[in-house]
Structure 1
Amino acid sequence: MPGDLDRERRVAMAAAEEAGALLAASFHSAHTVHAKGGRDVVLDLDLAAEKIIVSRLREAFPDDHILSEEAGDQGPQGGRTWLVDPLDGTNNVAIGLPAYAVGIGLMSGGAPVLGVVHEPVTGATFHAVAGRGAYGPAGRLSGPASVLPEAGPVVAWTQGYGVGRAPTAARIRAELERESWRVLQLWAPLLGWVLLARGTIDAFVGYCAEGVDLPAGALLAAEAGAELRTLDGEVFTPEHAGPPEGRSFVAARGENLAWARLRCSG
C-alpha cells in the first residue's frame, strides 16, 4: 500500500481521542437508546461517539468506505474500508463498569493496515501500522512473554454475542479456567488486545468474535510481536466479514501460544 499512512493514523487517533473525551465526560449519565437483542443494548454514547468519528473520517477521506458498529455501511464500496467501534464495552457502561474503549481500523486489500485503540478511562491511545510496529504513550510495545509462567498464564477470552452457551465455547472456556492462572472476560475485546500488546497478559482466545473491532486490535497485538492462529493452528487473518466461525483465534507467543493452542484443540 503506497504511503506511510501517517495522515490516516493522525486523523484516526484524533477522532478516537475526541470521541473518548465525550465518553469519559458523559459516562455517569449514559442511557439506553434501544436493545439489540438479548441483553445487548445501544447507548446514547454509542451514537454520539460514532457521529464524531464518522464525520472526521468522512471529511478527511471522502473516497473511503466506512463500516461502523451502529450506523452500518457508509460511503463508496471497494477500495479502503474504515472499521469503527465507537464504544467497545457498551454493556459494561450500561451497568456502570468503567471498562470500555474506542476502536478504529483501516482495511486495504482484505487485511488490516492501521489500528487505533483509545482508552477513555486512562486517556491512553495505542496505534499500529502494518509492518511498522505498535506504539503506546510510553513508546514501542514489546508484546506478550514467550515463556509460560510457572503459576500458569493470564488469558483474556472473548466470544461473539450470538455464541451464548455453545458447547465448543463452553468447553474451551472451562479448559482455560482449569489450567490458567486467571481468565479475563472483559466484554470489551479491544482492552484484551491492548493488554496482550503491552505484555501484561500472556494470551488472548476468541470464539466467533465480533468483526468490527477485531482487525484493529489484532493488528496492534501482531505488530507488538504476538502470533495469531486459528483454533486449528493455521495462520489467522483478522477479517471483519464472513461467517463468525472464521473469527475464532488464539493469540500469544512461544510457549504460551503452544499452551493456549493445546487447550483450544480437540
Structure 2
Amino acid sequence: MSSDDEVRAAAHAAVDEAVAVLRAGRDKPLDRIGKAAKDFLTEVDLASEAALKAALAKSTPDVGFFGEEGGGADLNTGRVWVADPLDGTINYATGSPLCGVMLGLLEDGVPTLGIIDLPFLGTRVDSGAVQDVDGFDEAIIGMGDAFHQGGGERLDAYLQMTVDVHRKAMRFRCVGAASVLWTWLASGNIQGMVLAHNNPYDVVAGHAIAKASGAVVTDYAGAPLTLSSPGAMAAVPSVHSDLTALARDLAAKT
C-alpha cells in the first residue's frame, strides 16, 4: 500500500493531467451530450475523467476509482478515488471561469483526502482555514443549483431556504459549481454552503478539505455527513447551527 505522502502526490499529479485537458479544450467548440433535463456533459468531461483514471491507475494501482461519468468501484469498501473531472460543466461550456476538477479519497466510505483545482481562477486547495464570524448576519452563504432537487415538496423547501438565507445572511452566492463553493469555504471567502444533493463526486473531496479547514460538515438536519445522507452542507462553527435551523423544513422533506 502506498504511503500517505505518495498517495497525495499521486492525486496532485493526476489533477495536473485533468487540468491540462480543461485548458486544452477551453477555446474549442464543444458538443453537448445530454444526461438529463437541464444537464449535459461534453467531450472534455470524458477526456478529463479518462486522464484522471489512467494517471491514478498507474501511480496507485491498489486504489479503486469512481468517476462522475463512468462510475466504478464500490464506495463503501477499501480505498477509492472519487472524481468529478469537470465540475461546473455548464459554466465551462459557456465560458465562465467558475469550474474545476475535484478528486477525493474514501477509506471504507470516509473522506480522508481532497484536492480541488479551479484552473481559470488560478486556485488549488487540499486544506485551508475557514474564516469565522460573529453571527449569521455577517456570513456569506453559498447555495447549490436547485435543479438537483428534482421537483415537488423537496424543491419547494430548498427554494424557500434559499430565500431565507438571502434575507438573513450578509450576502448570498449561487455560482453553479460545488468546487468553487468548497474552495471558497476552505479559503475563508464564504462562511457556509448548502448543496442540493449529496452526489459523491461533488462532495467527497470538498468534505475532506472543509473538515481539514475547520468547517462543520453535515446533512441538512445537522447529523454527520455520510455517503447515504440525502443532502450536504457545511459552515464555520459560529454559523452552522443557524444554517441547520434554516434547513429544518428541507430536512423534513428529504
Q: Report deviation, 1:4.
A: 5.2
Residues 77, 147 of structure 1: alpha-carbon distance in 2 compared, 3 angstrom cutoff: closer
Q: Percent identity?
A: 26
Alignment of 1:176 onto 2:162: no
Deviation of residue 160 (structure 1)? Answer: 6.8
Distance between the aligned counterparts of 1:162 and 1:183, measured in 2? 19
1:87-143 deviations in whole A, cap 9, x for unaligned? Answer: 00001112221210101111111101111111111333211xxxxxx2xxxxxx221
**What is the CA-CA distance between 1:146 and the residue it aligns to?**
4.0
Name the CA distance, whole Å, in 1 between partners of 2:147 and 2:61. Answer: 32
Distance across 2 between alignment mates of 1:175 and 1:149: 12
Supply the AA of the counterpart residue of 2:71: G
Deviation for aligned residue 1:40: 0.7
Distance 1:3-1:24 versus aligned 2 partners, 3 A rule: closer
Partner of 2:244: 261
The letter of the residue matching 1:55 is A
Q: How large is the RMSD of aligned CA atoms in angstroms? A: 2.3
Secondary structure of residue in 1 paired with 2:135? coil
- Pairwise CA distance, 1:249: 3.1
Aligned partners of 1:187 and 1:54: how far apart in 2? Answer: 25
C-alpha displacement of 1:64:
2.3
* Structure 1 position 262, deviation (Å): 2.0
Q: Which of 128, 147, 157 is the aligned partner of 2:143?
A: 157
Please give the alpha-carbon distance, in whole angstroms, between the structure 1 residues aligned to 2:22 and 2:121. Answer: 12
Pick closer, same or farther for the CA change 1:249–1:37 going to 2, 3 Å.
closer
Q: In the alignment, which residue of structure 2 is the partner of 1:234? A: 223
Compute the displacement of 1:158 (Å): 1.6
Residue 200 of structure 1: SS of its match in structure 2? Answer: coil
TM-score normalized by the length of structure 1:
0.84
Task: State whether residues 145 and 174 of structure 2, in contact with CA within 8 Å, keep that contact through their aligned partners in structure 1.
Answer: no
Distance 2:208 2:101 in 1: 15
Match of 1:93 in 2: 92
Match of 1:192 among 181, 185, 202: 181
2-structure distance, mates of 1:39, 1:233:
30
Cα drift, residue 78 of structure 1: 4.1
- CA 1:75–1:64 in 2, change beyond 3 Å: closer, same or farther? farther
CA distance in 2 between counterparts of 1:177 and 1:100 reads: 23
Letter in 1 for 2:55: R
Q: 1:91 to 1:113 in 2, by over 3 A?
A: same
Q: Answer yes or no: is the 8 Å Cα contact 1:156–1:183 preserved in 2.
A: yes
Q: Is structure 2 residue 129 aligned with structure 1 residue 142?
A: yes
CA distance in 2, matches of 1:118, 1:228: 20
Q: 1:232 to 1:190 in 2, by over 3 A?
A: same
The structure that is strand-richer by fraction is 1
Aligned positions, number: 246
- The question of whether the paired residues in 2 share the 8 Å contact of 1:211 and 1:247 is answered with no
Q: 1:224 corresponds to which residue?
A: 213
TM-score (norm 2): 0.88
Deviation of the 1:260 alpha carbon: 1.4
Q: Note the C-alpha offset of 1:172.
A: 1.2
Q: Which residue of 1 aligns with 2:234?
A: 251
**8 Å CA contact 1:116, 1:125 repeated in 2:** yes
Q: Give yes or no for contact 2:148–2:196 (8 Å, CA) kept in 1.
A: no
Correspondence for 1:138: none
CA pair 77-65 structure 1, distance change in 2 beyond 3 A? farther
State the SS of the aligned residue for 1:92.
Answer: helix
Q: Name structure 2 gaps, 5 residues minimum.
A: 250-254
Once residues 95 and 205 of structure 1 are traced to their aligned partners in structure 2, the CA distance between those partners, rounded to angstroms, is 24
- Measured in 2, the distance between the counterparts of 1:149 and 1:76 equals 35
222-231 or 30-39, which moves further after superposition? 30-39
